[in-house]
Structure 1
Amino acid sequence: MANSSGLLVIERILRDRQGIWQQVVEDRGLTRLTGQMLVSTVIALACYGAVLGSFHSVLMALTSAVKLPLLFLVTLAICLPTLYLFNLVFGARLSVRQSLSLVMVALTVTAMLALAFAPISLFFLITAPDYGFFKLLNVAILALSALVGLRFLTGGMKVLNEHGLLAPRPALAGGPAPAPAVPPADPAAPAADPAAPVTVPANGNGATATLTQTVPAQAPPGQQFVLHPHPHMRPVPRPQAAATPPSMALLYVWILLFGFVGTQLAWTLRPFFGSPGMKFSLYRDIDGNFYAEIFRTIAHLF
């Protein structure tokens, strides 16, 4: 699966997402991987854009096949520097290749999922060719596909956080920490046998219990041990919760920014569907906004 190319890269992303994240963490072969995802994203969005424009005419289908990939790629070009600088400001150690590959995984999943919905969109185009319903249906398809893609993006960022790439490298001040002082052993005292049974009080009424389990002398770094009263239970390590870095919090702000830029750019590049009562036009005058148009369409349907 590591040599998958073209449209088959989506199969590797879905089947081996941990392998993809590990490749991003190691910054290994990302140029080729990003190129494969770019090709598959453009082809998938072009096919889906042709479905959108086919509601109006063949010429509209061709222009939508060009404009839909352009919409996603221009939005990425506008917003990617913001994500990269966010990471640099808060000490993340991601390269430009890693940031681009991370976002391209989300775009590839979004594009391929939208392409998977294309037969459903065509079905309603043939059986129920209503302009308002068709427009809302495809907006919902793109929104659902984008949500799934963003889940991959947040999942990848969490993996990078687990590998410490979203936090600054810890500084070693003054060299390695000195070893803790150990008091000298008393030569007259008998050596302690770690496997020997130890008698301890079990409760407050004078009863005792014998512990035969070996207890480690020193806990591993970053762990605390909880001693249980049962003599045959091992100490249970209590992991310490890792703090969420600012880069993870700012990722959600960047996702909102990406959504606002994308919807405004989509409004600028319209039409994608083509109103049935209007002649073909490459662009329309910029008036209103995307969200007002969606609300007007919903009000018209109901």
Structure 2
Amino acid sequence: MSGDRPSPLVIERILRDRVGIWQQIVAERDLSALTGRMLASSAIALACYGAVLGAFHSPLMALTSALKLPLLFLVTLAICLPTLYLFNLVFGARLSVRQSLALVMVAITVTSMLAVAFAPISLFFLITAPDYGFFKLLNVAILALSALVGLRFLTGGMQVLNDHGLLAPTPVPAQAPAQVNAQAQAVPAAVPAGSVPAAAPAASESAEPVAVPAAATVDGSASNGAATVAQPPAHVPAQWSGQPAGASFPPGYSVPPGYPVPPGYPAAQRPWGTPPVRRGEPTQRPASMTLLYIWILLFGFVGTQLAWTLRPFFGDPGQDFAFFRSIDGNFYAEILRTIANL
């Protein structure tokens, strides 16, 4: 499914055509419609799964959980999205608000749809093994697994944006040092100073023989006084054809094909015309990618605390119905206590 069709089941396109989704976000094409469909799909899926959670207590609890579970995800997104967007701006990324929102909505859509896919399993254990502690841990594990898969989509999308240069600041052309210019001007007239051919000519173009002086042969050894003629490869550009072998080249330029490599010349192993490679400098990921992982942790902490604030979602059968509980303890202490009571 390569086309973007107006269907609430946008999850089908996300799973089958994720490359098309990333390209649409990169091009910032029709993101409002895409985000709206993801929002509608996520809200419906989370409402259905929330109803399953609250069904353990009563139909009224199922109704309230169907309202609170979508609210949990969307409010968490509203709290954390400005942080992600501003961090990207601080470190030079060129993501717009709509691109950031669409990326996070892809993760939430995948999470919600995967969670609702587990709803029949949750209902099965609700009917066959109605234990409150087990049912609560089972659904927490389902939501955690679904969230991990959704976050994998988020990191994948950010990596695609990084490959398109949206997570790195616009590079500023470096100024050539004065000594480089001076050495470039010392190149013989056959080699224009500071110029590199844009593209090698076709192999059918002829190249003139290269005369190697008697004092400097290709292998660096002394000759018997007669000039040696070396035939360069056919793809050597015409402006290099008459250049004597062993001539000096500007620092930062590779030695053209067919010419001897000066001892210790660092550019010999690089493509012709590429800038010098600085050894010992590890490749670093953009700061925006590192901040993404920090933001994911922040999103998780905010989400779990908000879930604790909006509880109950399951509804303890030993207590009466309540739309909210008093805020005491925290989510992680409750999970540890539940595990200990099993």
Q: TM-score interval w.r.t. the shorter chain?
A: 0.7 to 0.9
1:298 equivalenced with 2:299 (yes/no): no
Q: Distance in 2 between matches of 1:115 and 1:214?
A: 64
Residues 105 and 216 (structure 1 numbering): CA distance in 2 closer, same or farther, change over 3 Å?
Answer: farther
Give the aligned CA root-mean-square deviation in angstroms.
3.2
The match for 1:232 is: none
Residues 214 and 248 (structure 1 numbering): CA distance in 2 closer, same or farther, change over 3 Å?
Answer: farther
1:183 equivalenced with 2:188 (yes/no): yes
Deviation track 1:206-233 (CA, whole Å, cap 9, x = no partner) reads xxxxx99767679xxx9999x9xxxxxx
Any conservation in 2 of the 1:135–1:273 contact (CA below 8 Å)?
yes
Residues 267 and 214 (structure 1 numbering): CA distance in 2 closer, same or farther, change over 3 Å?
Answer: farther
1:92 equivalenced with 2:109 (yes/no): no
SS at match of 1:108: helix
Residues 21 and 242 (structure 1 numbering): CA distance in 2 closer, same or farther, change over 3 Å?
Answer: farther
SS at match of 1:3: coil
Q: Distance in 1 between matches of 2:133 and 2:313?
A: 13
Which residues in structure 2 correspond to 1:99-248 (within 5 Å)? 99-172=100-173, 183-185=188-190, 191-192=208-209, 243-248=284-289
Q: Distance in 1 between matches of 2:270 and 2:6?
A: 46
Q: Distance in 1 between matches of 2:167 and 2:73?
A: 26
Q: Which has the larger radius of gyration?
A: 2
Tell me by how many angstroms 1:6 deviates. Answer: 4.0
Residues 4 and 288 (structure 1 numbering): CA distance in 2 closer, same or farther, change over 3 Å?
Answer: same
Tell me by how many angstroms 1:169 deviates. Answer: 1.0
Any conservation in 2 of the 1:37–1:108 contact (CA below 8 Å)?
yes
Tell which deviates more after alignment, 163-172 or 266-275.
Answer: 163-172
Deviation track 1:80-133 (CA, whole Å, cap 9, x = no partner) reads 000001001100000000000010000000000001100100110111111000
Amino acid of the residue matched to residue 41 of structure 2?
S
What TM-score results when the alignment is normalised by the length of structure 1?
Answer: 0.81
RCO comparison, higher one (Cα < 8 Å, 6+): 1
Q: Distance in 1 between matches of 2:75 and 2:339?
A: 28
Residues paired across the two proteins, number:
271
The match for 1:62 is: 63
Which residues in structure 2 correspond to 1:12-51 (within 5 Å)? 12-51=13-52
Any conservation in 2 of the 1:6–1:40 contact (CA below 8 Å)?
no
**Residue in structure 1 matching 2:327, options 280, 286, 289:** 286
Any conservation in 2 of the 1:6–1:39 contact (CA below 8 Å)?
no
Q: Distance in 2 between matches of 1:75 and 1:213?
A: 64
Residues 279 and 223 (structure 1 numbering): CA distance in 2 closer, same or farther, change over 3 Å?
Answer: farther
The match for 1:256 is: 297
Q: Distance in 1 between matches of 2:236 and 2:33?
A: 48
Structure 2 unaligned segments of length 5 or more: list them: 192-206, 211-216, 220-230, 241-251, 258-268
Amino acid of the residue matched to residue 297 of structure 1?
T
Amino acid of the residue matched to residue 191 of structure 1?
E
Any conservation in 2 of the 1:51–1:61 contact (CA below 8 Å)?
yes
The match for 2:311 is: 270
Residues 131 and 214 (structure 1 numbering): CA distance in 2 closer, same or farther, change over 3 Å?
Answer: farther
The match for 1:75 is: 76
Q: Distance in 1 between matches of 2:158 and 2:112?
A: 20
Deviation track 1:33-61 (CA, whole Å, cap 9, x = no partner) reads 00010000000000000000001111000
SS at match of 1:139: helix
The match for 1:204 is: none
Residues 129 and 236 (structure 1 numbering): CA distance in 2 closer, same or farther, change over 3 Å?
Answer: farther
Any conservation in 2 of the 1:52–1:273 contact (CA below 8 Å)?
yes
Amino acid of the residue matched to residue 145 of structure 1?
S
Amino acid of the residue matched to residue 42 of structure 1?
A
What TM-score results when the alignment is normalised by the length of structure 2?
Answer: 0.72
Residues 61 and 216 (structure 1 numbering): CA distance in 2 closer, same or farther, change over 3 Å?
Answer: farther
